[in-house]
Amino acid sequence: MKNSVCIRSGQIITDSDSRIADIFIEDGVIRQVGEKLLVPSDTREINTSGKLVLPGGVDVHVHLDLPMFDTISSDDHYTGMKAAAFGGTTTVIDFVPHDDLNFETNIARWHTKADNKAAVDFGFHMNVTRFSPQVLSQIPRLPEWGITSLKVFTAYNNRLRLADDQIKQVLQVARDAGILTMLHAEEGDEIEKLTAEAVRSGRKDPIWHARTRPAEGALTSARRIFSIAHQVKAPLYLVHMNTAGEAALLKESRRLGWQVMGETCPQYLFFTEKELERSDGSKWICSPPLRTEADQKALWSALREQIIEVISTDHCPFFYNGEQAIEYEGASCQILGKELGRDNFTKIPNGLPGVGDRLPVFWSKAVNTKILTPQRFVALTSTNPAKIFGLYPKKGAIQPGSDADIVIWDPLKSVRYGVSIARHRTDYNLYEDWNLQGFPEKVFLRGVNIVDDGAWNGRAGMGQFIPRKNSLMV
Ligand code: URP
Ligand code: ZN
Ligand code: ZN
pLDDT digits 0-9 by tens, 273-319: 999 999 999 999 999 999 999 999 999 999 999 999 999 999 999 99
Q: What pLDDT, on a 0 to 100 scale, did the predictor assign at position 22?
A: 98
pLDDT of residue 444 exceeding 90: yes
- State in Å, rounded, how far the first CA of the chain is from the last one: 40
CA separation for the pair 119, 97 (Å, rounded): 21
Q: What pLDDT, on a 0 to 100 scale, did the predictor assign at position 472?
A: 82
Distance 321 CA to ligand 3 centre (A): 22
Residues 150/471, Cβ–Cβ less than 8 Å = no
Ligand 1 atom with minimal separation from the 156 CA: 8
Ligand having the closest approach to the CA of 350: 1
Residue nearest to atom 9 of ligand 1 (CA): 314
pLDDT digits 0-9 by tens, 25-53: 999 999 999 999 999 999 999 999 999 99
At a CB cut-off of 8 Å and minimum separation 6, what does 108 contact?
none
Distance 29 CA to ligand 3 centre (A): 31
pLDDT of residue 120 exceeding 90: yes
Amino acid at 122: F
Distance 36 CA to ligand 2 centre (A): 47
pLDDT digits 0-9 by tens, 209-253: 999 999 999 999 999 999 999 999 999 999 999 999 999 999 999
- In DSSP notation, 381-429 reads IIIHHHHHTT-TTTSS--STTSB--EEEEEEEEEEE-STTTS--SSS--
The mean pLDDT value of the chain amounts to 98
Distance 352 CA to ligand 1 centre (A): 8
Ligand 1 atom with minimal separation from the 286 CA: 1
Coil, strand or helix: which one is 337? Answer: coil
At residue 453, φ and ψ (nearest 5 deg) are 50, 50
Report the DSSP pairing between strands 326-328 and 310-311. unpaired
134: pLDDT confidence band, cut at 50, 70 and 90?
Answer: very high
CA separation for the pair 304, 176 (Å, rounded): 33
Nearest to 120 by CA among 325, 473, 391: 391
Coil, strand or helix: which one is 440? Answer: strand
What global pTM score does this model have? 0.98
Q: What angle do CA 61, 63, 67 make, to 5 degrees?
A: 155
Residues with CB under 5 A from ligand 2 (ion): 184
Residues within 6 Å of ligand 1 by CB: 63, 184, 286-287, 314, 316, 350-351
Q: What angle do CA 297, 303, 307 make, to 5 degrees?
A: 115
